[in-house]
Amino acid sequence: MSLLAATARKTRVLIVDDSAVVRDILTRELARDPEIEVVGTAPDPYVARDKIVLLKPDVITLDIEMPRMDGITFLRKLMHYFPMPVVILSSLTPKGGDLALEAMEAGAVEVMCKPGAAYTVGDLAVELCDKIKAASRVAVRRRTEGAVQAAAPTVRLAMTRTTNKVIAIGASTGGTQALQDVLTRLPGTAPGIVIVQHMPEHFTRSFAERLNQLCEIEVAEAQNGDSVTPGKALIAPGNYHMVLRRSGARYYVEVKSGPLVSRHRPSVDVLFKSVAKYAGRNAVGVIMTGMGSDGAEGMKMMRDAGALTIAQDEASCVVFGMPKVAIDLGGACHVTGLDRIPQKMLELAQMD
C-alpha cells in the first residue's frame, strides 16, 4: 500500500441500533464525511456480533435499549472478548443519562444523544463524525466481563489556606474519567470550580450527581445565577453555554443558549474567554483530554490576562487534541500528567 493510500484510509464504522429509521439517518449522515465509511448496520447485538467478526470495523455506534440483549450487557461482553472503540447513542432522557454513564464505566469512549427535536440531525452529524474519528484513535483495553473495575483509593489533597480564586476546567473525549480522577482528590476547601465537559443535555446532570456522591467537594449541574464558591464545582449543562460573571466580589455563572462555538455547545472557549475577562489573574485554567481545538484560544486569552494555566500531557490523554492546540498557541503555563493536575491546580490557586 502506498503512503498516500495509507494516510487516506477511512474510519470504518458499524451502526448498531434497533430502529431502522435511526440506522438510515446515521448511515446517510456519516457517509457525507469523506474520512468515514459505514461498513454495515445491525438491529441487535446478536447480528452485530457476527458483523464485527466479519467486517472488523474500527468503531461501532451502539444504542443502549435494544431487544434480545441490552446495549450495556453487549458492551461488557464486547470489551471482554473483542475490545474496540464504542460511541454510545442514547435517548435524551434522565434515564438515558444514567445508562450512558454506566456504559462509559463499562468501556464506552463517548456518549451522544439520538437525533430529535432537542438535537438536530445536522448538529448530531458534525459532532458524531468528530467523536467517531477521535474514538478510532483510542487504544481500548480488554476488561473482565461483568467485573466492576476497582477504584484506586482516593488520596485527598489539602490546602494550607483557602482562596477565593476560580478554577476553570475544559475537557472532551476521555474527560469524564479524567474529571473524576481530578475532582475526587480535591479537599472540601478547594476554590470554586467551573467546568465544561462536552456531553449532551441530561447526561451532564447524571454525571454531576455521580461525581457529587464520590467527591468531598459539592458537584452540581450549573443553573443560571449560581454562585462560584469554595468547595463547589459547577458543570455546564449539556446543550447550553456557561459563562463566568462578576458582581463586586461575587463570581456567578450565566447559563444560556446560542450557536455552536468551536463546534460545541457547551463550549470550553466560551467559558475560558469569560473567565479571562472577569477573573483574569484570579483564575487557574486547566485543559484536558479531547479532540479538536475547543478551549485553546480561550486558554491563551486567560494566560494573557494573567491567569495561570495547565494543559494535560500527551502520555495521560485519551486524545491529545485540545491540550496540544492550547500548548502550540502558547496558552499553557504548565504541561503535566493527569495524576499531577489536582496538586498543581491547588498550588497555583494559592499563588499571589
Residues assigned a catalytic role: 172, 198, 294
Q: Which three cell numbers stand for residue 352?
A: 499571589
Asked if 71 and 65 touch (Cβ cutoff 8 Å), the reply is yes
What is the Cα–Cα distance from 120 to 25, expressed in whole angstroms? 12
**Helix and strand counts by DSSP (H, E) for the chain:** 12, 14
Residue with cell 446543550: 239
- Cα dist. 204→87, 118, 130, 286, 289 in Å? 17, 15, 19, 19, 17
Q: Which three cell numbers stand for residue 130?
A: 468528530
Report how far apart the first and last C-alpha atoms of the chain are (Å, whole number). Answer: 57
Q: Which three cell numbers stand for residue 315?
A: 502520555
Residue 234: enclosing H or E segment and its boundaries? strand 232-235
- Cα dist. 343→182, 189, 216, 224, 287 in Å? 9, 13, 15, 30, 15
Asked if 123 and 259 touch (Cβ cutoff 8 Å), the reply is no
Asked if 11 and 59 touch (Cβ cutoff 8 Å), the reply is yes
The sign of the dihedral angle between the CA atoms of 301, 252, 254, 265 is positive
- Cα dist. 44→8, 37, 70, 194 in Å? 31, 20, 9, 39
